[in-house]
């Protein structure tokens, strides 16, 4: 099978998986017991007494598809709900939030930049630091450097993010006052209307602590994976041959060993970036960072099903896309894979 056939096969598999996710996402929320919390609150709101308003709400939120001559609700069938839902998911029309009554996509866009900034910076830094230190740890395997790097990475990887976040807030925000404790801060951090340089500086001050927390939490997994794959690669015969040819150790490590050990690292990196839009629920909540993770957590408390359904779909879509990209990179890095 050539590269085209390999890509076509992966795209078809991805499309089938996407259809399965759409059906499963619909089934999960359709089978949940009880009425959607915000809808129940709307219908039970004493301020909403006009029957026409109630009927419009019932049609708008898909409870009824119409009313008979006596004003009785004609329930929307499951099939009608699914057809409407299927079209809306494919066109990214997620309806309105039950809490804010704003379009879900609009509320999502408001928080998207905050999440991309926080998770993008933390994921990129953790990957770079984890891979570099993982290569060093594998090269120095069995030494005190290796033991120290593994111990520190296991420690930060095992500590809960809320613990590290609260510790950093206590030390750097409350005691030392070097950084704000979150995105929403007193006016002392932003005075007047700052220029672009001041705005970026203030933004970086707000970003530092949550990004540090996530970077310390994420990098340990990348380090341990890189160390494991590199340790195996460094025992292969082609590494001995490369060293016997007199190649510099840096070339041996990065051009030969890391390249051949990179397939699991590629998958790990792709999935790390694929889950960026899920946000960091705990970290965003601790630091009052108004991102998608905190919004998802709030939507669970509000029982805002349109938001939850949209977020679950977007997260699954990003993970599927990340897997497709990693499969393509696999085929480019190792031609043997696309011929299997």
What was the pLDDT predicted at 189?
43
Residue with tokens 């089934």: 27
Query: What one-character DSSP code corresponds to residue 9?
Result: H
Paired strand residues for 73 = 67
What was the pLDDT predicted at 281?
82
Quick check: helix, strand or coil at residue 103? strand
263 token code pair: 């397939």
What was the pLDDT predicted at 129?
92
Phi/psi of residue 96, each to 5°?
-105, 145
CA distance 205 to 183: 9
Residue with tokens 């120095």: 140
Would you say 282 and 118 are in contact if contact means Cβ atoms under 8 Å apart?
A: no
Domains of the chain in sequence order: 3-90 (no CATH), 104-334 (1.10.3720.10)
Residues whose CB is less than 8 angstroms from the CB of residue 256 and which lie 6 or more positions away in sequence, other chains included: 238, 239, 242, 247
CA distance 192 to 186: 13
What was the pLDDT predicted at 58?
62
What was the pLDDT predicted at 188?
42
Would you say 296 and 307 are in contact if contact means Cβ atoms under 8 Å apart?
A: yes
CA distance 140 to 133: 10
pLDDT tens, per residue, the chain with 340 residues: 566 777 788 888 888 888 898 899 888 877 776 554 445 455 545 555 556 665 566 666 666 666 666 666 666 667 777 888 888 888 888 887 877 778 888 888 888 888 888 888 888 899 899 988 988 888 888 888 888 988 988 888 888 888 888 888 888 888 887 887 766 543 444 445 556 766 677 777 888 888 889 898 888 888 988 888 888 887 778 777 877 887 787 887 887 778 777 778 877 787 777 777 766 788 888 888 888 888 888 888 777 888 888 888 888 888 888 888 877 776 666 665 554 5
Quick check: helix, strand or coil at residue 62? coil
- For the chain, helix (H) and strand (E) counts, in that order, are 16, 2
pTM: 0.74
At CA 118, angle to CA 114 and CA 122, rounded to 5?
165
């Amino acid at each position: 099978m050539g590269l085209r056939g390999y890509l076509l096969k992966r795209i078809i598999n991805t499309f089938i998986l996407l259809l399965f996710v759409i059906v499963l996402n619909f089934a999960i929320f359709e089978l949940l017991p009880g009425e959607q919390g915000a809808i129940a609150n709307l219908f039970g709101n004493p301020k909403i007494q006009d029957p026409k308003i109630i009927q419009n709400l019932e049609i708008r939120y898909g409870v009824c598809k119409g009313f008979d001559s006596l004003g009785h609700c004609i329930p929307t069938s499951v099939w009608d709900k699914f057809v409407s839902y299927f079209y809306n998911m494919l066109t990214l029309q997620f309806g309105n939030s039950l809490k804010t009554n704003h379009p879900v996509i609009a509320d999502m866009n408001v928080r998207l930049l905050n999440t991309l900034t926080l998770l993008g910076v933390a994921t990129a830094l953790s990957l770079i630091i984890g891979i570099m230190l993982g290569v060093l740890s594998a090269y120095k395997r069995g030494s005190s450097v290796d033991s120290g790097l593994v111990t520190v990475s296991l420690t930060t990887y095992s500590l809960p993010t809320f613990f590290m976040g609260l510790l950093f807030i206590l030390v750097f925000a409350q005691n030392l006052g070097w950084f704000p404790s979150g995105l929403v801060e007193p006016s002392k951090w932003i005075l007047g209307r700052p220029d672009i340089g001041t705005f970026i500086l203030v933004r970086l001050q707000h970003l530092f602590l949550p990004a540090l927390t996530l970077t310390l939490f994420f990098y340990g997994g990348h380090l341990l994976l890189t160390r494991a794959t590199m340790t195996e690669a460094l025992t292969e015969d082609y590494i001995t041959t490369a060293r016997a040819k007199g190649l510099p150790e840096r070339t041996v490590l990065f051009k030969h060993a890391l390249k051949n050990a990179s397939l699991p690292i590629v998958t790990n990196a792709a999935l790390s970036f694929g889950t960026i839009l899920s946000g960091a629920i705990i970290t965003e909540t601790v630091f009052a960072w108004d991102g998608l993770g905190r919004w998802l957590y709030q939507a669970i408390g509000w029982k805002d099903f349109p938001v939850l359904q949209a977020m679950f779909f977007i997260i699954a879509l990003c993970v599927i896309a990340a897997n497709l990209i990693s499969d393509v990179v696999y085929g480019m890095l190792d031609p043997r894979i696309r011929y299997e």
